[in-house]
Amino acid sequence: MTHLSRSGGQILVDALRIHGVDTAFGVPGESYLDVLNALHDSNIEFIINRQEGGAAFMAEAYGKMTGKPGICFVTRGPGATNAAIGVHTAYQDSTPMILFIGQVGLDFMDREAFQEIDYRRMYGQMAKWVTQIDRAERIPEYIARAFQIATSGRPGPVVLALPEDMLIEMKAVADTGAYQAVQASPAAAQIDQLRTMLAAAKRPLLLLGGATWNAQACSDVKRFAEANRLPVACAFRFQDLFDNAHPQYIGDVGIGINPKLAARVREADLIIAFGPRLGEMTTSGYSLIEAPLPRQRLVHIHPDPQELGSVYQAELMIASGAPQGAGMLAHMDPVDSSAWAGSANQARAELAAWQQQPPIFQDGAAPLDLWQLVRDLQAAVPADTIITNGAGNYATWAHRFYSYGPMRTQLAPTSGAMGYGVPAGIAAKIVDPARTVVTFAGDGEFMMNGQELATAVQYRAGVIIIVFNNGMFGTIRMHQEKNYPGRVSGTGLHNPDFAALAVAYGASGEVVETTAAFAPALARALEHTRSTSLPALIELRYDGNLITPGATLDAIRAAAQKAQQ
Ligand SMILES: Cc1ncc(C[n+]2csc(CCOP(=O)(O)OP(=O)(O)O)c2C)c(N)n1
Ligand SMILES: [Mg+2]
């Protein structure tokens, strides 16, 4: 306990240290100069970004990687509005994060002073908790609560506004202790009930997803799956919760799902959904698992009691964090699994078939075979490589053909936010410089936060960025052709020379247009990032007609035109 007088900014930075903060992201503003001043003498690394959207995404990716709240500092009004995309993503993805916003002084508050916003209203729907700290002596209390809320139950973002004059108040105030994330555990009777339901099943399926996982929980759930010979699928963009090379891994339940896997989900007689919210993307628009009353028997395990029963009326609802639930399941007496003994094998064969080279690339049909590219990538990088992406059809190549290793090897927004991949990749490299990080980005995607390449160069974050340049906002073009065939509107892109742009930033840049050119270019990029710790960009230029592994734009348009006749 200290009785020395400290400024609000100093009390805040001291509190961050107490809660274990080592890194923060942000864009400076005159509204929080006293925090910047306190950071000057702290051992917190403050990563300066080039746009608050990039900063908020980096903080979110930090939260995903570490399980600790990602910290982001932005200025009022314009800074706070730019940061919103990262807060929304943290909310949808259940990621612990704290956004600090420099705020108008209390002396001018509520006059719509310069850049003033009421953040409680602005962020009300996107954050777990939004408030403003009006008294410097209460900073330790507010910060401790922010960390509790961001990490406990279903994790998520907290937003704290910091009035400028409050930050320069001098106060003698005691610090708090460090936060403790609180998670519920299953009751023994609930595990018994789960066991009874599993013992009665013929076609059970374990579906993993959501937040609060750690390496121990992943290993515990593996033990449970192995002991009961369960086929294991992962929810949309949670593909790294179960080693994809494991013989019981059967694929991801997300956008563009393997139709055979979709049928298995639909026809399962018991789904143990451990962790996921079971959102629109995971359920194929609430069709694989119907809401509110699923046809399958459903066990839903989720950290938030408020989530349970809110969309799905599961037969058994268990409020539990992943480590707590997995720990108990690992010790559950296994059931007789002879009824489904071969099902993981069969489903695994269906996954292997789904991951074969698609017909549109067979026999050298395209100069650049994106399927072979993923094979080449997989062969060249270590198993613990982190793959990041945002939204766009290019992400399909990673999701469907890349085999994700152990947790955390996938950083991808379940919110479907474009612009996530580049900052997430840079954050991953900053958090764990020893690991290889590869970002998949569309040409549209890259331009939404490509400016953060400057941040990567400044902090020597040697991420490899693969830009999929098809000259269009391809996902939207695909939907256009399906719904308004031949009427291309608002989806074409005239792009800069991405490789030259990368070089201008201080990264390396190469253009690849043929299958054979990719592996050597990747080898050079890996060598460049290793020897210089600087980023490398590979721009893939390819025919935009190759819109998905399964169909060309021409085929989609022709089918839509036929259907409309
Ligand atoms: C921030 C944001 N804006 C718009 C969208 C809608 N959207 C989804 S995918 C997409 C196009 C992505 O284009 P690109 O990155 O080039 O990838 P491609 O589909 O061409 O492979 C758009 C505009 C979104 N998801 N997020
Ligand atoms: Mg594109």
How far is ligand 1, taken at its centre, from the CA of residue 234, in Å?
23
Measured in Å, residue 391 CA sits from the centre of ligand 1 at 5
- Rounded distance from Cα 73 to ligand 2 centre (Å): 31
Residue identifier of the C-alpha nearest atom 3 of ligand 1? 418
SS3 at position 483: helix
Mean pLDDT of 554-558: 97
Q: Compute the residue count for the chain.
A: 565
Average pLDDT over residues 341-365: 96
pTM attached to this predicted model: 0.98
> 510: which residues sit within 8 A by CB, 6+ positions away?
499, 521, 524, 525, 536, 537, 538, 539
Report CA(436)–ligand 2 centroid distance (Å): 24
419 close to ligand 1 (CB < 6 Angstrom): yes
Distance 255 CA to ligand 1 centre (A): 14
> What integer pLDDT is reported at residue 3 of this predicted model?
67
State whether the beta carbon of 354 lies less than 6 angstroms from ligand 1.
no
Q: Is residue 395 within 6 Å of ligand 1 at its C-beta?
A: no
| Axis crossing angle, helix 8-18 with helix 33-40, rounded to the nearest 10 | 50
* Residues around ligand 2, an ion, CB closer than 5 A: 442-444, 470, 474
- DSSP letter (8 states) at residue 546: -
What pLDDT is stored for residue 508 in this prediction?
A: 98
| Nearest ligand for residue 491 CA | 1
> What's the distance, Cα to Cα, between the start and end of the chain in Å?
78
pLDDT band at 565 (very low <50, low <70, confident <90, very high): confident
Our answer on whether the CB atom of 545 is closer than 6 Å to any ligand 1 atom is no
Decide: 53 in ligand 1 pocket, CB within 6 A.
Answer: no
Distances (CA, A) of 378 to 73, 209, 221, 233, 260: 36, 23, 25, 21, 24
Tens-place pLDDT, residues 80-127 = 999 999 999 999 999 999 999 999 999 999 999 999 999 999 999 999
Atom of ligand 1 nearest to the CA of 390: 15
Q: Give the residue, by CA position, lying nearest to ligand 1 atom 16.
A: 444
Identify which of 87, 88, 93, 393 to mutate to test ligand 1's pocket (most ligand atoms within 8 A of the CB).
393
Using CA of residue 449, residue 454, residue 459, residue 463, what is the dihedral sign? positive
Check whether 2 has a pLDDT greater than 60: no
- Tell me the C-alpha to C-alpha distance, in Å, between residue 356 and each of 101, 379, 383, 399: 48, 16, 20, 14
| Ligand 1 center–CA 94 separation, angstroms | 22
Whether residue 539 contacts residue 495, with contact meaning beta carbons closer than 8 Å, is answered with no
Average pLDDT over residues 137-165: 98
Q: How far, in Å, are 212, 322, 546 from residue 220 at the CA level?
A: 14, 10, 41
* Residues facing residue 385 across a β-bridge: none
Ligand 1 atom nearest to 470, measured from its CA:
20
Mutate to test the pocket of ligand 1, among 445, 469, 539 (most ligand atoms within 8 A of CB): 445
Asked if pLDDT for residue 220 goes beyond 70, the answer is yes
User: Could you tell me the pLDDT band of residue 465, with boundaries at 50, 70 and 90?
Assistant: very high
What's 422-452 look like in SS3? HHHHHHHHHHCCCCCEEEEEEHHHHHHHHHH
List the residue whose alpha carbon is closest to atom 23 of ligand 1. Answer: 473
Q: Is the CB of 8 under 6 A from ligand 1?
A: no
Judge contact between 381 and 526, C-beta under 8 A: yes
Q: Distance (Å, rounded) from C-alpha 503 to C-alpha 333?
A: 58
Edge-first strand listing for the sheet containing 232-235: 249-253, 232-235, 204-208, 270-274, 297-302, 316-319
Q: Is the CB of 13 under 6 A from ligand 1?
A: no
Q: How many angstroms does the Cα of residue 491 sit away from the middle of ligand 1?
A: 10
Atom of ligand 1 nearest to the CA of 493: 16
Evaluate: CB of 393 within 6 angstroms of ligand 1.
yes
Q: Report the pLDDT value the prediction gives residue 256, as an integer from 0 to 100.
A: 93
DSSP state of 203: S
Spatial CA neighbour of 301 closest among 211, 238, 409: 211
- Mean predicted confidence (pLDDT) in 481-499: 98
Mean pLDDT over each residue of the chain, to the nearest integer: 97
pLDDT band at 64 (very low <50, low <70, confident <90, very high): very high
pLDDT at position 371 is 98
- State in Å: Cα 473 to ligand 2 middle: 5
Does residue 361 carry a pLDDT above 80? yes
Is pLDDT of 1 > 90?
Answer: no
Q: Which pLDDT score, from 0 to 100, does residue 132 have?
A: 98
Cβ distance 76 to 104 under 8 Å?
Answer: yes
User: Can you give the pLDDT at residue 260?
Assistant: 98
